[in-house]
Homo-oligomer: A and B are copies of this chain.
Amino acid sequence: MTARYFVGLDVGGTAMKAGVVDDAGVPLSSVSLPTEASRGQERGLDRMCETIREAVHAAKRRLDDIDAIGVATPGLMDIAAGLIIDPPNLRPWKNVPVRRHVSAVFGKPTAFQNDANAAALGEFWAGAGKGVSSLVFFTLGTGVGGGIVLDGKVLEGRNSHGGELGHMKIEMTQPRRCGCGRLGCLEAYASATAVVKRTYEALNQPESGSSLHGVLKTTGELTARDVFTAWMGGDSLASQIVEDTAIYLAIGAMNVMHTIDPDMIVFGGGMTAAGEPFLHRIRHHVNELAFSIPAERTSVRFAQLGTDAGFIGAAACGRQLVS
């Protein structure tokens, strides 16, 4: 049997990343080009094709070697129709027929998927979830994205809203306002952006002692990384923020354990750089919060593929078309 290769493309608000991936989920190349959404969607579609070509070139393969392509994009979409609808991160794009275009240009089976769903499938196929049969993925960045993989298939949902895990409501009495406009969404508590926001609130309390005051003075602004670094250094204000974050993520995990009940829950995104000590706090709260059987048995882990998860997962979507 000839070796099979797939191209995955992950379109983000700032850059698009593509790579050739082999049949075992190993990337042979990885290239990145600026998205430049503001230049319009026609150029955007051209840029997608250009990034795919560069990925093939960088892998020292020819387009003839490629069996299928997968494209992952953010925001509001119609997955079944292969259409970007109205993505906040890709203004002014609207109703972009991504799948049809890419498929027509390359003449190959082309899959289309939500970016967080693709990343979930990437981790399932070639990352933290290797060998499990179901997985729920939370990605923690500006927002909280999510993807659900059941028996190896992405749960896309009837209206392409499957796995929008950041928009479970977890608070009614004093709900925080989410970036989506709703109140009390998990994302408003547990995203990297929310960590920073909660930190500013805490620092603005009278007599709040924290090493982060100094960091803020020096750098002019704080990042989630600063908060986790201060936590590692024993800062007590940062410790409270991180502990609360672990609780929020444990609530997200628990809600998923009591509805989907997957083999594994995977957290990805920059915050997971905090490593084992942070994962340990999340697991601690899962054990406190969830029913004992799923709490004991569900594997809770950090992602392994980093920012490659999206294009590897997109390639996996392409691969599923020809498997």
Binding site for B on A (CB under 8 A): 76, 133-134, 146, 148, 150, 155-165, 167-174, 180, 182, 251, 254-263, 289, 291, 293-294, 297-298
Contact B261 A159 (CB under 8 A): yes
29 contacts between A and B (CB under 8 A): A148-B259, A150-B150, A155-B260, A155-B261, A156-B261, A157-B260, A157-B262, A157-B294, A158-B261, A158-B263, A159-B298, A160-B293, A161-B257, A161-B258, A161-B294, A164-B261, A164-B291, A165-B258, A167-B291, A168-B168, A168-B258, A169-B254, A169-B289, A170-B170, A170-B171, A170-B172, A182-B289, A256-B259, A260-B260
Asked if residues B261 and A172 are in contact (CB atoms below 8 Å), the reply is no
- Beyond contacts A150-B150, A161-B293: 19 other A-B pairs, Cβ-Cβ < 8 A, are A134-B158, A148-B259, A158-B262, A160-B261, A160-B293, A161-B261, A161-B294, A164-B258, A165-B258, A168-B258, A169-B254, A169-B289, A170-B171, A172-B173, A172-B251, A173-B174, A180-B291, A255-B255, A260-B260
Q: Is the CB of A169 within 8 A of B170?
A: yes
A252–B284 Cα distance when bound, in Å, is: 26
Chain B positions within 8 Å of A257 at CB level: 161
7 shortest interchain CB distances as A-B pairs: A157-B261, A173-B173, A161-B261, A164-B258, A167-B258, A162-B261, A168-B255
Most buried by B among A133, A171, A261: A261
Residue pair B294, A159 in contact (C-beta under 8 Å): yes
CB distance from A7 to the nearest CB of B (A): 28
**Chain B residues closer than 8 Å to A255, beta-carbon distance:** 168-169, 255
Question: Once bound together, how far apart are the Cα atoms of A276 and B21, in whole Å?
Answer: 53
Smallest Cβ distance from A189 to chain B, in angstroms?
Answer: 9
Residue among A148, A172, A251, A298 facing the most chain B CB atoms (10 A cut-off)? A172
Alpha-carbon distance between A255 and B169 when the two chains are bound, in angstroms: 6
Q: Tell me the complex Cα distance, A289–B169, Å.
A: 9
Q: Which residues of B contact A263 (CB under 8 A)?
A: 158
Residues of B within 8 A of A170 (CB): 169-172
In the assembly, what is the distance between CA of A269 and CA of B252, in Å?
Answer: 27
A165 to B155, CA, bound (A): 18
**Smallest CB separation, A51 vs chain B (Å):** 29
Q: How far is the CA of A263 from the CA of B159 in the complex (A)?
A: 8
The answer to whether A155 touches B161, judged by C-beta atoms less than 8 angstroms apart, is no
CA distance A169 to B172 in the complex (A): 11
The distance from the CB of A270 to the nearest CB of chain B, in whole angstroms, is 23
Q: Which residue of B lies closest to A169 (CB)?
A: B251
